[in-house]
Amino acid sequence: MSTPQIRVAEAIARIPYARFLGLRAELKGDELTLVMPFAPHLIGNPVLPALHGGVVGALMEVTALTQLAIASKAEKFPKTIDVNIEYLRSGRPLDTYARARVVKIGRRIANVQAEAWQNERSQPIASLHGHFMTPEADEPSV
């Protein structure tokens, strides 16, 4: 039988870019945590070294999309309208985690917030606020 955990893991595994980032999904109840294990190709600043802002953004975006797909019980991934990313701390060369909270699912647009952290949940390295097309609104209305 296909549990939600397996379905999410399969959905993530089907995304080539999620594989490129090495993302792994953990689902507790209906709350998803994405894990991005550290890998040398994720570095943006080799001097410090620090993770590239782009991969931290991508991690939170995939988390937001997947959490929204779970919350709206959609089969397909929603489409991104916009994301607003705030970088709070430099990403250390460590495993990074992300969780998202669906603030509101409207008829056409959903509002989702996500956060990424490393060793300490209380010390986020970045946060994302995004708007996404709700999957139903995406269908042709004719």
Partner 1 sequence: MSDEKPPQEYQSGESALERVQAMTRFTPLAQALGIEITRFERGRVWGKVPHREELVGDPETGVIAGGVITTLLDHLCGTAAVSGMKIPVPVATIDLRIDYMRPATPGQDIHAEAHCYKLGKSVAFVRAVAYDDTPDNPVAHAVAAFMVNSNNGRKMGANLRKPKS
- Tell me if 25 contacts partner 1 by CB under 8 A: no
Contacts of 18 (CB under 8 A, 6+ apart): 12, 62
Number of residues that bind partner 1 (CB under 8 A): 42
CA dihedral in degrees (135, 137, 138, 142; nearest 10)?
140
Q: What value, to the nearest 5°, has the Cα angle with vertex 104 and ends 23 and 25?
A: 15
Helix (H, G, I), strand (E, B) or coil at 83: strand
Q: Which CB, 27 or 50, lies closer to partner 1?
A: 50
Q: From CA 101, how far away is CA 46, in angstroms rounded?
A: 32
Q: How far is the CB of 85 from partner 1 (least distance, A)?
A: 5
**Backbone φ/ψ region at 21: left (φ over 0), alpha (ψ -120 to 50), beta:** alpha
Choose, by CB under 8 A, the member of 1, 46, 122, 140 that binds partner 1. 46
Q: Which CB, 23 or 27, lies closer to partner 1?
A: 23
Q: How far is the CB of 29 from partner 1 (least distance, A)?
A: 26
CA dihedral in degrees (77, 69, 134, 114; nearest 10)?
-100
Task: Please give the DSSP secondary-structure letter assigned to residue 91.
Answer: P
Q: How far is the CB of 77 from partner 1 (least distance, A)?
A: 6
> Judged by CB under 8 A, which stretch of 2-10, 24-32, 40-48, 98-106 contacts partner 1?
40-48
- Tell me if 55 contacts partner 1 by CB under 8 A: yes
Spell out, one character per residue from 71 to 110, where the chain touches partner 1: x when CB under 8 A holds, - when not: ------x-xxxxxxxxx--x-xx-----------------
Binding residues for partner 1, per CB under 8 A?
14-21, 40-50, 52-55, 57-59, 61-62, 65, 77, 79-87, 90, 92-93
